[in-house]
A and B are shown apart, each in its own frame.
Chain A
Amino acid sequence: MARESAAAAAAPETTTAAAFNASASVSGIVSSLAREYTANTPQRLKVIDTYMVFCVAVGIVQFVYCGLVGTFPYNAFLAGFGSAVACFVFAANLRMKTNPKNRAQFP
Chain B
Amino acid sequence: MRCFRSSTRMLLAICTLASSCLAALQPTDIHIKVMERTGDKLFSASPQYPNTFGKVPEITSTTPLSVSFSVKSTTANEAVAVDQAFVNFRHKETGDETAFVAKRAGVGAYRMDLARKHFRTHFAPSPGLYDISLVLGSFADGGVHYALGTVQMSNGKPQQQQQQQRMSDTVVFGARPEIHHRFAEPQRMPSAAVSLVFAVLCVVPLVVLFGVWARLGVNVGGLGAEPVASAAFLGLVGAYMALAVAYWVGVKLFSALTYALVLALPTYAVGQVALSRRAASKPC
Chain A positions near chain B (C-beta within 8 angstroms) = 43, 46-47, 50-51, 53-54, 57-58, 61-62, 64-65, 68-70, 72
Contact = CB atoms under 8 A, between A and B. Distances in A.
A26 to B, nearest CB: 25
19 contacts: A43-B216, A46-B216, A47-B213, A47-B216, A50-B216, A53-B205, A53-B209, A57-B205, A61-B198, A61-B202, A61-B205, A62-B202, A64-B198, A68-B194, A69-B190, A69-B195, A72-B187, A72-B188, A72-B189
Given A61-B201, A62-B202, A51 B194 contact: no
Given A43-B216, A69-B190, A50 B202 contact: no
A43 B189 contact: no
A54 B205 contact: yes
Interface of B: 187-190, 194-195, 198, 201-202, 205-206, 208-209, 212-213, 216-218
A69 B209 contact: no
Contacts of B190: 69-70
Contacts of A57: 205
Contacts, number: 38
Contact of B202 (A58, A68, A70, A72): A58
A29 B1 CA distance: 84
Contact of B212 (A50, A61, A70): A50
B217 A54 contact: no
A51 B198 contact: no
A54 B198 CA distance: 15
Contacts of A68: 194
B217 A43 contact: yes
B198 to A, nearest CB: 4
